[in-house]
Amino acid sequence: MDTPPPAGRHRPTLRLVPTAGARTVNQPSPFGPEPTGGSTDRTGLPEVMRQVAHGDKEAFSVLYDALAPLVFGIVIKVVRDRAQSEEVAQEVMIDLWRQAARYRPDSGSVTTWAATIAHRRAVDRVRSAQASADRERAQAAREHRTAFDEVAEQVETRLDSEQVRRCLGGLTELQRQVVTMAYYQGLTYREVAEVLHAPLPTVKTRMRDGLIRLRDCMGVTT
């Protein structure tokens, strides 16, 4: 059965409203005792579930009264937040209505089945909230990193346009080519040697000599 929950008899939401000591009817609490004296007990829930599977709205009302406190109690222990717990608990009750035809008594009691669905839904909500928080932190980190990169790029551009380029001009042609390919284009020594058609030892030597001259030109001390 995959029809919406019965609308003929409105079921109250799970939102709890403080009262002056009296417990509101059909307002479940995860900590207090469960309602007694209802139209059925849990030993009769398999038959109730069978009727719900056939679309019996009154049976769903009975099921709701019997299981809503249990469902809410399980959910709030996992989710912690009361408002979210009420939403998840309502989703679980809707699941019980829609999936009633899938229940099999030989697989376990109705309460165990409902508890499993409630716990799964609660865990999913917590994981979803955690994933959302992780995405927000990652986005904040990316924005911070972007701002840092922009500053670094400005500094690098300034150095390129002033000191670094001036110092590069003081290198020999081969030294300048080797340094530029290695540090600005990210090529390895071997790749530079292949591009310039030069022996690998020569490239390494020119790189070393070029970096020494750059260091001296820029006033870098070691």
Whole-number Å distance between alpha carbons of 192 and 30: 71
Instruction: Give per-residue pLDDT as tens, 5-57.
Output: 655 444 544 443 333 333 333 343 333 334 433 444 566 899 999 999 999 99
| Contacts of 108 by beta carbon, 8 Å cutoff, 6+ apart | none
Whole-number Å distance between alpha carbons of 164 and 219: 11
CB atoms within 10 A of CB 79: 21
Q: Among 72, 66, 61, which residue's Cα sits nearest to residue 28?
A: 72
pLDDT value at residue 149: 52
Whole-number Å distance between alpha carbons of 68 and 95: 12
Whole-number Å distance between alpha carbons of 191 and 194: 5
Per residue, the 3-state secondary structure of the chain, as one string, reads: CCCCCCCCCCCCCCCCCCCCCCCCCCCCCCCCCCCCCCCCCHHHHHHHHHHHHCCCHHHHHHHHHHHHHHHHHHHHHHHCCHHHHHHHHHHHHHHHHHCHHHCCHHHCCHHHHHHHHHHHHHHHHHHHHHHHHHHHHHHHHHHHHHHHHHHHHHHHHHHHHHHHHHHHCCCCHHHHHHHHHHHCCCCCHHHHHHHHCCCHHHHHHHHHHHHHHHHHHHCCCC
> By the 8 A CB rule, do 40 and 77 touch?
no
Full pLDDT tens readout for the chain, 222 residues:
555 565 544 454 444 333 333 333 334 333 333 443 344 456 689 999 999 999 999 999 999 999 999 999 999 999 999 999 999 999 999 999 999 999 999 888 999 999 999 999 999 999 988 888 777 777 766 655 554 455 545 545 545 556 777 777 788 888 888 888 877 677 787 888 888 888 888 888 888 888 888 777 766 554
pLDDT value at residue 177: 85
pLDDT value at residue 38: 41
> By the 8 A CB rule, do 77 and 29 touch?
no
